[in-house]
Amino acid sequence: MIPSYVPPKYRVEVDPNRCMLCERCTIECSWGVHRRDGERIISYSNRCGACHRCVVMCPRDAITIKENAISWRSHPLWDVDARVDIYNQAKTGCILLSGMGNAKEHPIYFDKIVLDACQVTNPSIDPLREPMELRTYIGKKPKQLEFDFVEEEIDGKKIKKAKLKTKIAPNLKLDTPIMIAHMSYGALSLNAHLSFAKAVKECGTFMGTGEGGLPKPLYPYADHIITQVASGRFGVNEEYLMKGSAIEIKIGQGAKPGIGGHLPGEKVTAEISATRMIPEGTDAISPAPHHDIYSIEDLAQLVRSLKEATRWKKPVFVKIAAVHNAPAIAVGIATSDADAVVIDGYKGGTGAAPKVFRDHVGIPIEMAIAAVDQRLREEGLRNEISVIASGGIRCSADVFKAIALGADAVYIGTAAMVALGCRVCGRCYTGLCAWGIATQRPELVKRLDPEVGARRVANLIKAWTHEIKELLGAAGINSIESLRGNRDRLRGVGLNEKELEVLGIKAAGE
Amino acid sequence: MEVEIDAKNMHYKELNEKIHQILRENPNVKKIILKNVLGQRFIGNGLQKKDLTIEIYGIPGGDLGMFMSGPTIIVHGNAEFAPGNTMDDGTIVIYGSSGDVTAHSMRGGKVFVRGDVGYRSGIHMKAYKDKVPVLVIGGTAKDFLGEYMAGGTIIVLNIDEKGNDLGKIKGRMIGTGIHGGAIYIRGEIDKDQLGVAADIKEFTKEDLEKIKPYIEEFCKWFNLSEDIKNKLLNSKWTKIAPISKRPFGKLYTPDLM
């Protein structure tokens, strides 16, 4: 066996003076870090991913986890990560897997954009005493409205009444522009999905199923669920398509643009196999492309086939990863009968991705939304299709900025998981999540109470919604739809001219 | 009850809506005959009526019978790409040939094609419990047959319209990434025609018993003689099946290093 040359990333210490040997940590840690040895707890630091489960659950506050302050010879090029990756690949000969979003120190453009606010000439609005409209509709909008004028006699008077002639396509009604992103059943536990489903129902918004199908316990929430059709077509049948409120075709994902998905066979349990409709224990492989899509016209064909299957009653979204030609693809999507285009940025999370993809492929969501919005405007299509932004949305300000850059609404993924307790330890792909979120192990899944989870997620969405109202008021705007693409409300700080140009915003002071 | 629709110059939306309307207004309808079909897409898309037969005269467009669960569709002509796409149950019988990705992601039911099929046919076919999809091809298939196949059965008979042998199969990259189900090809296949994760396995008596009813059904649909049927059943067959249920399991890092 080839030994590992990688020292532990964290140092786990149990204070013997505080520890009462209750062994709670040995039960809570799904990674096997802690073990009782006689009258003490021994900790195997090399197994620790800093998920904090033991720290939070220890009744005596006896556990400390620190970054292992081991000295590495410093080098500006050969940083520790580069060396650790080489040690691991030299040991295994495998593609390195990773969870969560991009872990490189790329610029976070959201943090280099500030919001403008009103002062005197265009006064701000107080959302505590004036209504703020956060409701928005996702779906196809008509180019123009046409009316038939019918003359009716009311109280002896002849009155011309306008009747809407234009057929309005089905839209999703969102009470807040925050939805929960597609994360599959398989990557996430049933209790995590139940938490999301209960929360979105309460908040008047939607969640995505991901590509893992729709488990039966989620059926009662189906009117707040968007089902997903990915290249593997797992769990896709007529009932599934009809159940949800909308359908999303997944072409690409921000965490791994250009590649497919792969749920390893050991995670395909009886429940997962029933939902995905594949035998237990076999790999669930979603190939990189949809093999019936090799052109925009082919994509249009799939959009239309889903519309036919649902009798043109469900909006169909198309999700692509943020890449440099996203604007051209978005134009194709807009002309294909699709109702919304979802752009997933390279900081978007995932249950499992090759590390090299997660950290190096894709472009920032901020740039992608701005470019897509701009191009759709130039083509005269922006008013017909909705744009949803996702990938690395961390707070209400990010939501606000994404909408001001051109999105109609956002998806949040990692943020919703953090609300459930996720520590962003990045080891979702192991299926050992100690918080019961990214796991299928029954003993771990039951750690997450869906009622408590739903409360936390709903609280988060409501808190952000309040903050967005305040931000809107400060910007002198009283509706979220007036913020869409309103880049005049944004200013760049520390950005170069080209970056400002792509984002379509002015520099602070301008 | 039988209903006929003349699809000449009809847009696909109108044609499909007509079919839905007929089914809505006449729950007892057993057969719908479509005449002069020329490229209309999505015929039978999502239909769920088990005792319904749709007979098509002409050439239906792409995604014939997509998401369908129950009905039988008979095509007196060729079919465009992806007939049987993500089909759940039912039967599609094509008297001519069909295009690329025939039976894409099919999850149940049967597709019989008398002629040839295009590239990537049977891709991502899958099976679950009693749902085992079957694709029977009378002629030959182009490259990437049964790619990423996760279940079900593909049978290639390799005969022309008169029942004569077509010679050695030329398809390449057969069963790339296959991790479930099996592909049966009449005749010999070289190992270098296979894609990664596919393997040639011994063709046993059990295999013959497994494919026999589908070959018989094929012969019945297309009115083939007893001689041809016996020739097919007594031929040399090559069975292609996955090397493992987890073909790419060793590609990724183990859980904890």
Digit-coded pLDDT (tens) for B228-241: 999 999 999 999 99
Flag whether pLDDT at A420 surpasses 90: yes
Q: Do the domain assignments include residue A161? A: no
Asked if A80 and A190 sit in the same domain, the reply is no
Q: Do the domain assignments include residue A447? A: no
Summarize the confidence of residues B190-209 as an average pLDDT.
Answer: 96
As a three-state string, the secondary structure of A464-485 is: HHHHHHHHHHHCCCCEHHHHCC
Most distant pair of Cα atoms in chain A: their distance: 97
Amino acid at A423: R
Chain B residues touching A305 at Cβ < 8 A: 41-42, 45, 62-63, 66-67, 85
Summarize the confidence of residues A436-459 as an average pLDDT.
Answer: 97
Instruction: Work out the percent of chain A whose per-residue pLDDT is above 70.
Output: 100
Our CA dihedral for B171, B172, B178, B183, rounded to 10 degrees, sits at 20
CA B108/CA B88 separation, integer angstroms = 5
Chain A residues touching B241 at Cβ < 8 A: none
pLDDT given at position A11: 96
Summarize the confidence of residues A469-483 as an average pLDDT.
Answer: 96
Flag whether pLDDT at B257 surpasses 70: no
Asked if A70 and A217 sit in the same domain, the reply is no
Asked if A336 and A198 sit in the same domain, the reply is yes
Flag whether pLDDT at A221 surpasses 70: yes
Flag whether pLDDT at B143 surpasses 90: yes
Per this entry, what is the length of chain A? 510
Map out the domains of chain B with their CATH numbers.
2-252 (2.160.20.60)
CA B40/CA A115 separation, integer angstroms = 51
> Residue A130's CB: how many other CB atoms inside 10 A?
10
Q: Do the domain assignments include residue A474? A: yes
Summarize the confidence of residues A153-166 as an average pLDDT.
Answer: 88
ipTM summary value: 0.92
Domain boundary among A70, A93, A116: A93
Q: Does A1 touch chain B (CB under 8 A)?
A: no
Flag whether pLDDT at B254 surpasses 80: no
Chain B residues touching A336 at Cβ < 8 A: none
Flag whether pLDDT at A30 surpasses 70: yes
pLDDT confidence bin for A262, thresholds 50/70/90: confident
Summarize the confidence of residues A295-318 as an average pLDDT.
Answer: 95
Residue A510: is it exposed, middle or buried by C-beta count within 10 angstroms (0-12/13-18/19+)? Answer: exposed
Q: Does A119 touch chain B (CB under 8 A)?
A: no
Q: State the CATH number of the domain containing residue A29.
A: 3.30.70.20
pLDDT given at position A282: 83
Asked if A35 and A181 sit in the same domain, the reply is no
Give the residue from chain A lying closest to B124, CA to CA.
A232
pLDDT confidence bin for A280, thresholds 50/70/90: confident
CA A289/CA B98 separation, integer angstroms = 21
Question: pLDDT tens digits for A373-402?
Answer: 999 999 999 999 999 999 999 999 999 999
Handedness of CA A69, A70, A75, A78 (dihedral sign): negative
Instruction: Work out the percent of chain B whose per-residue pLDDT is above 70.
Output: 99
Within 8 A by CB and 6+ apart from A195, the residues are A420, A448, A450, A452, A453, A454, A456, A457
Q: Do the domain assignments include residue A109? A: no
Instruction: Give the angle A461-A467-A471 at the CA atoms, nearest 5°.
Output: 140
Asked if A356 and A465 sit in the same domain, the reply is yes
B104, B105, B253 ranked by CB distance to A96: nearest: B253
Higher pLDDT, residue A178 or A289: A178
pLDDT given at position B255: 65
Domain boundary among A73, A93, A113: A93
Which tokens is B137 given?
């091809």
Q: Between residues 154 and 183 of chain A, which touch chain B (CB distance below 8 Å)?
A: none
Q: Do the domain assignments include residue A49? A: yes
Flag whether pLDDT at A493 surpasses 90: yes
Instruction: Give the angle A455-A458-A463 at the CA atoms, nearest 5°.
Output: 120
Question: What is the number of domains present in chain A?
Answer: 2
Mean pLDDT of chain B: 95
Q: What is the DSSP letter of B194?
A: B
Amino acid at B132: V
pLDDT confidence bin for B18, thresholds 50/70/90: very high
Chain A residues touching B49 at Cβ < 8 A: none
The secondary structure element, H or E, covering residue B137 is: strand B134-137
Q: Do the domain assignments include residue A267? A: yes
Summarize the confidence of residues A149-178 as an average pLDDT.
Answer: 91
Instruction: Name the residue among B184, B167, B166 with its Cα closest to residue B175.
Output: B184
Q: Please state, in angstroms and as integers, the Cα–Cα distance from residue B23 to each residue in A2, A376, B26, following that order.
A: 66, 40, 5
Per this entry, what is the length of chain B? 257
Mean pLDDT of chain A: 95
Higher pLDDT, residue A470 or B246: A470
Summarize the confidence of residues A115-135 as an average pLDDT.
Answer: 93
pLDDT given at position A194: 98
Q: State the CATH number of the domain containing residue A210.
A: 3.20.20.70
Instruction: Give the angle A55-A57-A58 at the CA atoms, nearest 5°.
Output: 70
Asked if A364 and A272 sit in the same domain, the reply is yes
Summarize the confidence of residues B166-195 as an average pLDDT.
Answer: 95
Full domain range(s) for residue A497: 172-424+453-507
Flag whether pLDDT at B202 surpasses 70: yes
Tokens 């006896």 correspond to: A62
A95, A238, A304 ranked by CB distance to B253: nearest: A95
Q: Do the domain assignments include residue A104? A: no
pLDDT given at position A288: 84
pLDDT given at position A152: 85
Amino acid at A70: I
Summarize the confidence of residues A164-188 as an average pLDDT.
Answer: 95
Q: Do the domain assignments include residue A229? A: yes
Flag whether pLDDT at A266 surpasses 80: no
Asked if A81 and A197 sit in the same domain, the reply is no
Determine whether the annotation assigns residue A118 to a binding site: no
